[in-house]
Amino acid sequence: MKRIKIDRTKCVGCLTCTTACIIAHDSREARSRITVDSNGSYAPIFCRHCDQPECVFTCMTGAMSKDYETGIVSYDKNRCASCYMCIMACPYGVLKADAKKQTEIMKCDMCISTSEGKPQCIAKCPMGALTLREVL
């Protein structure tokens, strides 16, 4: 299973990753799936696509699901009841309500829903601070 890793010694807080995310998913509305830690450095925090995802376990409708083959935790807006249990359950605080559509959740999907099919935050990071690494 692969996860996005950040080398905080290389990250300068430019937030190019968030812009790449916005463009990759919907360039008409500025909505990033990346959470930003604003405690001084403005560094991105990514969904960890957990092995035992609390967001999936607490989702009563099955809108949050884990593909154990790819390791990706995905969100199906058509099944979402907007209860926000997934947001409350995430131990990393990376899930958030969509500011434009309060009935939807914003989370990293590793860009599988885009034509690029690979995380654009990694592809566009000018400092090379983001990598996709295999984790055991």
The CATH number that applies at residue 61 is: 3.30.70.20
Q: pLDDT tens across 14-40, in order?
A: 889 988 988 888 766 667 777 777 666
* pLDDT reported for residue 10: 94
The two tokens of residue 70 are 């790819």
- Whichever domain contains 30, its CATH number is 3.30.70
The two tokens of residue 30 are 């500025």
Q: Is residue 59 part of a domain?
A: yes
- Residues 103 and 69 grouped into a single domain: yes
The two tokens of residue 77 are 């807006």
Confidence of residue 60 (pLDDT cuts 50, 70, 90): very high
* pLDDT reported for residue 22: 87
- Residues 119 and 93 grouped into a single domain: no
Q: Is residue 9 part of a domain?
A: yes
Q: How far apart are CA 112 and CA 125, in angstroms?
A: 18
* pLDDT reported for residue 13: 87
pTM above 0.75, yes or no: yes
- Residues 11 and 36 grouped into a single domain: yes
Q: Indicate left, alpha or beta for 110 from its phi (over 0: left) and psi (-120 to 50: alpha).
A: left
